[in-house]
Structure 1
Amino acid sequence: MKKILITALAGVLSAMTVFGQSKRQDRPNILIIMTDQHTADAMSIAGNKDLKTPSIDFLAQNGTRFTEAYCVQPLCTPSRISIFSGQRPIHTGFTGNVEERDGLWPDSLLVMGKIFKDAGYKTGYVGKWHLPIPTTKISQHGFDYIQNTAPGDFLDAANPSFCARFMKEHKNDPFLLVASFLNPHDICEWARNDQLKMDFIGTPPPPEQCPLLPANWRIAPNEPLIIREQQKVNTKTYPSTQWDADKWRQYRWAYNQLVEKVDNYIGMVLAGLKKYGLEDNTIIIFTSDHGDGYAAHQWNQKQVLYQESAKVPFIVSKIGQWKEKTDNNLICNGIDIMPTICSFAGIKTPSYLKSGVDIKQVIEKPGTKLRDTLVIETDFADNTRLLGIKGRAIITHQYKYIAYDKGDLREQLFDLTVDPGETNNLAVQTKYKKTLNGMRAYMKKWARENNDTFNSGK
């Protein structure tokens, strides 16, 4: 009798194990790796020969790299809120940087962590936070394991260890883990000669040994003057207005150093997956909250709607399972990540998330077209103080239309197929009047449909 019971118990345990493995395979782990202020071109896989990013390249070699990916707004908090809620800044109401304080985030705006936790996933968040929810309020944000969020020296360097601990504890459970890195954001401190928040990169070499400047580094003709008004608000934030070409070359050098630093830490996070046997069942999304001027248009920082500030890296990978591909779909990480990871996990996307697209469709069926047009936004701010200057951009595969709501010259129109550096403003040329009017009409229609109060006056 005892032997029969032992045999029966063994059978039950075996069946439970098989069920657990099946359940795990049906529900992949989701790992979101984020950098901060990382422009899309700052990857060696993108053809940049001035830096080396072997870890990011490895992700691209095991998945799909989206070459036309944008943030929803090139500023930290609005972009991050969108990524973790799936809603645009104009709909969340958070259009500037906001402090971490209870009572700001409405309960009706569901957070990624809570959605996945309620669906049975183990949830973890490691690294830079910068969301207007206290990290201690797990009931709202849903990340049960939340570590290394306080600013400090070598914050990024500690992320892999905390991520590995979470992976070890939940290697038999489906999990959602966010690894949020601060760099290359330290370029802000470098620009104003402050001590870097985390890593040490040393003194730059002589300018002639630094990367060459991009072809679009000079301020182009017919640029809306309101853009440069932003730089005058805080010279500590924008110390670059008097820089010469040599200083800009050293800026590019420093920025590249910070990208290489964070790439190394990303490699350590990926090593954690390998160590705990999680590679084959983990879908990885790599992106950034926004880009950086990277010396183009003589701009440091973000907020403007030029490509360098608005375009971000976006890679979806499954190590050892997927082949290397590139895709030129118009992607917006702020509104597309939520429906995508919900789709991968088999979780119902909240019904109010109507703007985003499911990128899983492209992974499963390359060649799928997701959207023809994308709209992104900006709301100029000096950290938490809004300046009352709004902008919008309409992006297609050929054209980019930018409009601001202040100033005499408010519009820019670029043909990205022949002018990827955005140096020739077609909005002032009469032969593009039809295209310009089409963009204006689209902007008005889009604003009505999305309850957007933006008005360029055109």
Structure 2
Amino acid sequence: MKRIWITAVATLLPFVSIFSQQKRTDRPNILIIMTDQHTADAMSIAGNKDLKTPAIDFLAQNGTRFTEAYCVQPLCTPSRISIFSGQRPIHTGFTGNVEEKDGLWPDSLLVMGKIFKNAGYKTGYVGKWHLPIPVTKISQHGFDYIENTAAGDFLDAANPSFCARFMKENKNEPFLLVASFLNPHDICEWARNDQLKMDVIGTPPPPEECPLLPANWRIAPNEPMIIREQQKVNPKTYPSTEWNADKWRQYRWAYNQLVEKVDNYIGMVLAGLKKYGLEDNTIIIFTSDHGDGYAAHQWNQKQVLYQESAKVPFIISKIGQWKEKTDDNLICNGIDIMPTICSFAGIKMPSYLKSGLDIKKIIEQPGTKLRDTLVIETDFADNTRLLGIKGRAVITHQYKYIVYDKGDLKEQLFDLTVDPGETNNLAVQTKYKQTLNSMRSYMKTWTRNNKDSFNPYN
């Protein structure tokens, strides 16, 4: 009998192994790597010769880089809530920065971690949190493994180790892991001469040795005055109002240094995938919560709806499996990540998520066009205090229409094909009246259909 049992087990083992392998490969791992305040052009793969980002470039070389990707709102908490819920700020109700506090996030709004946990995935979150849910409330956010979220020095440097531990412990099960870095957000500290939180970059070189300023660094004519009025609200947030060209060149140097620092840590996270044999079955999404002014329009920080603040890096990779591509679909990370990762994982997403798009279709069929118009929003704030100034932008492949709800001059219209730096406001030119009216009409229809109370036209 013993011999028969051994023979039976030996006969079944290959089938058990096949079943286990089938189960493993049918459900890919999802790794989301996020930086903070990272503008889309701050990558060497994007043609920026003033910095080097080998880890980010490696992701682009093993996947698709989306060149027209935007955040849903250029401010930390609203953008992050959208990414992890799939809903726009106007629908979540979170349009400003919010503290980590119990009772703020409604139970009806499902969090990414909980959706994946309920579907049988192992779930992990490492790094900057900045969501209005206590990290200890796993029953709501769903991330069983949650580490390194408390504010403190050198937070970014610890992320790779925590990520590697999660990978090692869960390498035989499908997992969702978020690696959330703070840099290059430390540029905020640098701008006001505070000590940096994440890294040490030293004293900037003389201005003549720093990166050149972008062609659009000056404040353009016919800009809504509300932008500069908002900028004067808090000099600690916007210490740059009196900077000269030399200081702005040093700002770009410092920002690039911080991007290179975080790129190094991203490379360490990717090394963890390789070490534990997880590259072949892991879908990687790299993005940021919003951009940074990067000296364009003499702007540091975010919130404003110019390209530098609103556009973000967005790359989807599968190392060693996918070839390098670029795609110009209009992407919004705040509403598109959730349907995309659910599609890759074969998970049914909440029925109320209707505005986001499944980017997996583009990966599987290059050339697919999913969206020809995108709307993003802003609600100016001084950290957690809303200032009562709202804005929206309608973006197409050619035009970008920005409108604010305060001031005499509220509108901006740019032809991005000839004016990517947004320096020539066509809204004040008579010959573009038809285009302007078309954009206004689209905005009115969109706000009505999306139950958005924004109305700048009274």
TM-score normalized with structure 1 length: 0.99
Could you tell me which residue of structure 2 aligns to residue 146 of structure 1? Answer: 146
Q: Deviations over 1:338-387 (max 9, x none)?
A: 00000000001211000000000000000000100000000000000000
> Mapping of 1:169-208 within 5 angstroms?
169-208=169-208
Partner Cα distance (1:453, 1:98) in 2: 21
Partner Cα distance (2:171, 2:403) in 1: 48
Could you tell me which residue of structure 2 aligns to residue 32 of structure 1? Answer: 32
Partner Cα distance (1:31, 1:100) in 2: 24
Structure 1 residue 245 corresponds to structure 2 residue 239: no
Structure 1 residue 63 corresponds to structure 2 residue 55: no
Partner Cα distance (2:20, 2:376) in 1: 42
CA shift for structure 1 position 403 = 0.2
Could you tell me which residue of structure 2 aligns to residue 423 of structure 1? Answer: 423
Q: 1:54 is aligned with what amino acid?
A: P
Partner Cα distance (1:406, 1:205) in 2: 40
> Mapping of 1:2-401 within 5 angstroms?
2-401=2-401
- What SS is found at the alignment partner of 1:65? strand
Partner Cα distance (1:408, 1:452) in 2: 22
Stretches of structure 1 that go unaligned for 5 or more consecutive residues are none
CA shift for structure 1 position 444 = 0.4
Partner Cα distance (2:293, 2:392) in 1: 17
Q: 1:201 is aligned with what amino acid?
A: I
CA shift for structure 1 position 7 = 2.6
CA shift for structure 1 position 166 = 0.3
Calculate the aligned-residue CA RMSD, in Å.
0.7
Percent pairwise identity:
90
More deviation in 372-381 or 148-157?
A: 148-157
CA shift for structure 1 position 152 = 1.2
Partner Cα distance (2:440, 2:52) in 1: 41
Q: Deviations over 1:212-252 (max 9, x none)?
A: 00000000000000001111110010000000000000000
Partner Cα distance (2:446, 2:384) in 1: 27
Stretches of structure 2 that go unaligned for 5 or more consecutive residues are none
Partner Cα distance (1:339, 1:23) in 2: 22
Partner Cα distance (2:112, 2:13) in 1: 33
Partner Cα distance (1:123, 1:450) in 2: 32
Q: Deviations over 1:122-146 (max 9, x none)?
A: 0000000000000000000000000
CA shift for structure 1 position 8 = 2.2
Partner Cα distance (1:308, 1:216) in 2: 11
Q: 2:260 is aligned with what amino acid?
A: E
Q: Deviations over 1:76-115 (max 9, x none)?
A: 0000000000000000000000000000000000000000
Aligned length: 458
Partner Cα distance (2:211, 2:348) in 1: 47
Q: Deviations over 1:405-450 (max 9, x none)?
A: 0000000000000000000000000000000000000000000000
Partner Cα distance (2:132, 2:11) in 1: 50
TM-score normalized with structure 2 length: 0.99
